[in-house]
Amino acid sequence: MGSSYRVCCCFTRSFWTAELQPPDDVKELFEKYAGGAAAYMTAEQLRHFLAAEQVATTDDPPEKIVENVLKQRHHIAKFTRNTLSLDDFFHYLFSIDLNPPFQSEVHQDMTAPLSHYFIFTGHNSYLTGNQLSSDSSDIPIIAALKRGVRVIELDLWPDSSKDEIQVVHGRTLTAPVDVMTCLKSIKEYAFFSSDYPVIITLEDHLTPKLQDKAKEMITQTFDGMLYYPESDNLKEFPSPEELKRRILISTKPPKEFLEAEDPLRGKDTDHERPLQHLKFLLQNDSHEDEQDIVDPIDYDDCGDISQHFEPLTYKRLIAIHQRKKSKLEDALEIDPEKVCRVSFSEQKLEKAATSHGKDLVRFTQKNILRIYPKGTRFNSSNYNPFISWMHGAQMVAFNMQGYGRSLWQMHGMFRGNGGCGYVKKPDFLMDKNHVFDPRAQLPVKTTLKVKVYMGDGWRMDFKKTHFDKYSPPDFYTKVGIAGVPADETMHMTRVKDDQWIPIWNEEFSFPLTLPELALLKIQVYEHDNDKKDDFGGQTCLPVSELKLGTRAIPLYSYKGEIFKSVKLLMRFQFV
């Protein structure tokens, strides 16, 4: 516990480690299915155990499981026996490879429109650190794609010469990165972790001339990978299955296209400027006011600009059109003839949720809603994603280079469905006849019972003095639910003093109103009397994806990287 009184008296026994032993429940299971006092469990007996206790059928026949366990444990290619001892059985249960807590393959229906899925989404994907002064780079883009992120955001701005395009967080001290560097890295790593589509959201601050340049760069880089919509306005989004290994562009259509489509849009006062000021901007690329570079074309009586800059061609790149509306009611209007994307800040969503909760759910049944962090999150922190998810928002944009509990939850959500970056929204969010009311009080639908047996692996992954200088660590586990407010809770085991292999054997119950949106939070800490408790690992698991029975749970670092050896043995049941 970091207590000073131990320094002298415990030095000689300081790092003694107990032998890894199966807990009593595992011994009882072995005896139950191996037949009393039998020394070994046959493959057929293992089959009965899997069906009854793990509530599972497996693609691998039990004979194959037995063979894999024996190879892993004994490192011998050929065996005279094809049965499991108690220690073999324990090894199987405590093996992340052989007995994981959730499916590792894509198993959900991937043929529904994109709007039916939560999509793993990044915010300012090019920033290496904070939002004000960090460098821009393709390195965080590559890291995000390797982790399974499917939506990459690029902010496009003219450089100081106004002749080239750079990726940079505008009006900050962040350093830019070349746009081609980012595009080439997206192409190279887009399908590193998943074959399902990558969407590039462009925050476009370009002149029509540079939009045309961006179009050339994008089409040349992605060539046959780029998805072009069949028509200017999609009535419904295609499915992830249809879009496998394709790149989609999402941004605002050029202003002149919007006005040619609807002459009344010229009366929209969001960006109006005097006509002579606009003509000056078009003639003078060296104008210094960055604000004037944003959406520079607001009128269609400036001459036939499209003949010079081909804005309609740029428009053809846009697979997911972003709708820009200042009034909430207008932003959430549902057009039966076309689908769109709308972006809200986290504060705007919270405000909309209090007055238009069901409208948000209804809008997201067909259209895409993207939520992004408020501007004051300078340190690249993140927000509670559940407010977005319970209103159906598909793109909950996170600063992937940040750390902390919100990001752990985001990682947890997208461990679902084989980690492919697309998780099917629960049916209740897609019911058009009975639109879900996020503010309604709901009854408990099920109760999840979680038993925390034991943990191991810290002795392999950490230095002996990492937690305490003179004695073994004092671990405890926190187990809880992240989800809708009614389901949020956290419990804690007892502290196990001086044990590298802590055994808790404690059970907790979690009543759930919306298990479809719940994540099981698991965190391990090492208790210290005189300073902040040390972090020992964490994970978040989608409750709806949990494999029942006794399972091995891998733990992750604070930054979300998987530990090589650290794991827990736990049991999951629904009652």
One domain for residues 426 and 459: no
Lowest-pLDDT range of 69-83, 295-309, 316-330, 353-367: 295-309
One domain for residues 288 and 198: yes
Mind giving me the DSSP string for 500-537? SS-EEEEEEEEEES-GGG-EEEEEEEE--SSSPPEEEE
Final residue before a domain boundary, out of 413, 430, 447: 430
One domain for residues 474 and 502: yes
pLDDT of residue 58: 63
Q: Please count the structural domains in the chain.
A: 2
Condensed to tens digits (0 to 9), the pLDDT of residues 469-519 reads: 889 999 999 999 999 999 999 999 999 999 999 999 999 999 999 999 999
What does residue 367 show for φ and ψ, rounded to 5 degrees? -105, 170
Q: Kindly state whether residue 238 falls inside one of the protein's structural domains.
A: yes
- Is residue 197 pLDDT above 90, yes or no? yes
Q: Kindly state whether residue 57 falls inside one of the protein's structural domains.
A: no
pLDDT of residue 483: 97
Rounded CA Rg of the chain: 27
- Is residue 291 pLDDT above 80, yes or no? no
Q: Are the CB atoms for 174 and 157 separated by under 8 Å?
A: no
Q: Kindly state whether residue 395 falls inside one of the protein's structural domains.
A: yes
Q: Find the distance separating the first CA and the last CA of the chain, reported in whole Å.
A: 37
One domain for residues 376 and 460: no
Strand 198-204 versus strand 151-158 pairing type: parallel
Final residue before a domain boundary, out of 397, 413, 430: 430
- Is residue 13 pLDDT above 50, yes or no? no
Condensed to tens digits (0 to 9), the pLDDT of residues 442-459 reads: 999 999 999 999 999 999
Q: Kindly state whether residue 18 falls inside one of the protein's structural domains.
A: no
Nearest to 138 by CA among 146, 126, 124: 126
What does residue 571 show for φ and ψ, rounded to 5 degrees? -125, 140
Q: State the Cα–Cα distance between residues 408 and 416, nearest whole angstrom.
A: 13
Nearest to 342 by CA among 316, 372, 317, 315: 372
Query: CA quadruple 205, 211, 213, 218: dihedral positive or negative?
Result: positive
Mean pLDDT of 369-394: 96
- Is residue 440 pLDDT above 80, yes or no? yes
Q: Kindly state whether residue 53 falls inside one of the protein's structural domains.
A: no
One domain for residues 128 and 250: yes
One domain for residues 272 and 195: yes
One domain for residues 416 and 463: no
Q: Kindly state whether residue 333 falls inside one of the protein's structural domains.
A: yes
What are the beta bridge partners of residue 321? 251
SS3 12: helix
Q: What are the catalytic residues?
A: 123, 169
Q: Kindly state whether residue 14 falls inside one of the protein's structural domains.
A: no
CATH number at residue 149: 3.20.20.190
Condensed to tens digits (0 to 9), the pLDDT of residues 88-133 reads: 999 999 999 999 999 899 999 999 999 999 999 999 999 999 999 9
CATH number at residue 484: 2.60.40.150
What are the beta bridge partners of residue 155? 203
Q: Kindly state whether residue 163 falls inside one of the protein's structural domains.
A: yes
Lowest-pLDDT range of 50-64, 327-341, 448-462, 500-514: 50-64
Q: State the Cα–Cα distance between residues 258 and 74, nearest whole angstrom.
A: 68
Q: String of b and e for 109-142 (b: at least 16 CB within 10 Å)?
A: ebebbbbbbbbbbbbbbbbbbbbeebebbbebbb
One domain for residues 477 and 498: yes
pTM: 0.87
Half-sphere exposure in the Cβ direction for 521 (13 Å, CA): 21
Residue type, 247: I
pLDDT of residue 267: 37
Final residue before a domain boundary, out of 430, 447, 465: 430
One domain for residues 207 and 300: yes
One domain for residues 454 and 359: no
The mean pLDDT value of the chain amounts to: 87
Range of the domain at 192: 114-430
- Is residue 275 pLDDT above 90, yes or no? no
One domain for residues 360 and 508: no
The percentage of the chain sitting over the pLDDT mark of 70, rounded to a whole number, equals 86
One domain for residues 416 and 498: no
pLDDT of residue 111: 98
Condensed to tens digits (0 to 9), the pLDDT of residues 21-43 reads: 999 999 999 999 998 777 899 99
